[in-house]
Amino acid sequence: MSSTTSSAPNRHAFALTTYASVKLETEMSHEFHDLFRPGLRKALVIGALIKA
């Protein structure tokens, strides 16, 4: 029975790590897709022209 209780915290830590990884990947994906929104693309082009 002690092996079951000792593995429970490890499973919990793995679940939290997996959740954090998936959440980070989702946020990065959303940021990547935001780059292709027309308004943001236009702002990036204008900013690049002003800076150049």
Render pLDDT for 15-41 as a digit per residue (tens, 0 to 9).
778 878 888 888 888 877 777 777 777
Q: What is the pTM of this model?
A: 0.39
> Over the stretch 38-51, which tens digit does the pLDDT of each residue have?
777 788 888 889 98
In this structure, the dihedral spanned by the alpha carbons of residues 13, 14, 16 and 18, taken in order and rounded to 10 degrees, is: 160
Cβ atoms 40, 34 nearer than 8 A: yes
Distances (CA, A) of 10 to 3, 17, 19, 49: 11, 10, 14, 52
pLDDT value at residue 6: 54
* The pLDDT of residue 7: 62
